[in-house]
Amino acid sequence: MKISQNIKVAVDAVVFGYQQKELSVLLIKRGIEPFKGTWALPGGLVLENESLEHAVERELLEETGVTIDYLEQLYTFGTPKRDPRNRVISVTYFGLVSPNHFKISANTDAAEVQWFPIHELPKLAFDHNIILTTALHRLQNKINYQPIGFELLKKEFPFSDLENLYQTILDRKIDRRNFRKKIMSFEILTETDKIHQPSSGRPAKLFKFNAKKYKELEKKGFHFEIKFA
| 17: number of Cβ within 10 Å | 24
CA separation for the pair 76, 178 (Å, rounded): 36
| 74: number of Cβ within 10 Å | 20
Q: DSSP letter for 102, please.
A: -
Q: Which residues have C-beta within 8 Å of that of residue 199, sequence separation ≥ 6?
A: none
From 112, 163, 216, 218, active-site residue: 112
* 70 in Cβ contact with 151 (< 8 Å): no
Per DSSP, the three-state class of 57 is helix
Decide if 216 is catalytic: no
The residues annotated as belonging to the active site are 112
